[in-house]
Amino acid sequence: MHEKLAVLKASLVISAFTTFSLALSSANAAILVGNTTGNNVLLFDEQSGAYLGDFITSGKGGLIAPDDLNFGPDGNFYVSSGNTPETSAILRYNGKTGKFIDVFASGGGLFRPYGNAFGPDGYLYVSSFLSDQIRRYDGKTGDFIDVFASGNGQAGGLNGPNGLVFGSDGSLYVTTQGSIAVNGNPTFPGLPSQVLRFDLKTKTSTVFIEQPTPSPDSFGFVSLLGLAFGSNGDLFVSDFANDIRRYDLNTGTQIDVLSTNYTGTVPSSNFIGNLTFGVDDILYTVGFDINTNFGTILRYDGVTGEPLPSSDNNGSIFVPTSNKLLRPIGIAYTSQSLNISIPEPATTVGLLTLGALFPAWRRQRQRQVVK
């Protein structure tokens, strides 16, 4: 009887261990989110929204207040990091493992980098928010090249540059907050928040999108932030103060407005971060509750603009408010297989079972030896 019981327990232990072993797998496609107050980058399953763990752990490689997240032409992962002149940099990580590679670009007066984007000319463009500049770096070596553009403190200028994206026309599109940097702090003299379009050859800009009417759910201001192109070429722009606006790239005409007020209050108690597109024209953004800084991931159909909540959620909520998301701003999508082991829920169950059964199994074996 004792031997049968011991065999049964041993079988359960082996079963638990097998569950543990099989539960370790690689993430194939995922949403990556940067926590500005957690100093880390998290992974979420692109289909279920399940939390998969840290892609970059807190502070790894000197990561501080991550903002824009992008995969470069080399497949590596580039993160805007730092909030002082000494810490401001673009950090480079392995695009599949999250392993820190190096400080790819820094210096040249970079101060609180926000948007970063690789241009068709082979340069890395970075918006230096607290110096009102766009800086260029060599796309292969990270060496500082030049100051591509600077703010002028006037409407239509590069005042508080934020998101960057290159269009199919080869132009650089930039969101401006409408602020002016003074002694390392943004001031708000009443300048508009706009989308500027830059010609790379001449370095000249025009106002592509004037400041829109504030969202009816906002606190009465506009702060354009994220930029992303849909498959049909329309430009999607997120407003930190609420809503995502969609524009025709040819005319700059507003086509649609996607509501992002997931907290349901007026004014909304949530703000909105960057944008990214996944497969099948699925649009993702992040937001956070200003009362707690806890964040949420929202999902939309990028063609129709319809909200796409995950199971058991409503509105556009893909990942409900979580204390793992700490004032998230940056977001990116990857379809490449990530070479990191992701423990699934079954792993935890397996480990708990193993831990619970092992002492009893050991006592049984001890009694058998004594006899």
- Give per-residue pLDDT as tens, 205-218: 999 999 999 999 99
**Over 70: is that where the pLDDT of 346 sits?**
no
Q: With a cut of 50, say whether residue 69 has pLDDT above it.
A: yes
C-alpha span between 99 and 105 (Å, rounded): 17
- Which pLDDT band holds residue 287 (cuts at 50, 70, 90)? very high
Q: In this predicted model, what pLDDT tens digit does every residue of 17-51 receive, in sequence order?
A: 333 333 444 667 999 999 999 999 999 999 999 99
In the predicted model, what is the mean pLDDT of residues 274-298? 97
Q: pLDDT: is 50 or 348 the higher one?
A: 50
Determine the pLDDT at residue 12. 41
Q: Model-level pTM?
A: 0.86
Per-residue confidence (pLDDT) for residue 339, from 0 to 100: 78
The pLDDT of residue 6 is 45
Mean predicted lDDT score pLDDT of the chain: 88
Percentage of residues in the chain with pLDDT exceeding 90?
A: 81
Q: Assign 302 a pLDDT band (cuts: 50, 70, 90).
A: very high
Output the pLDDT for position 27: 66
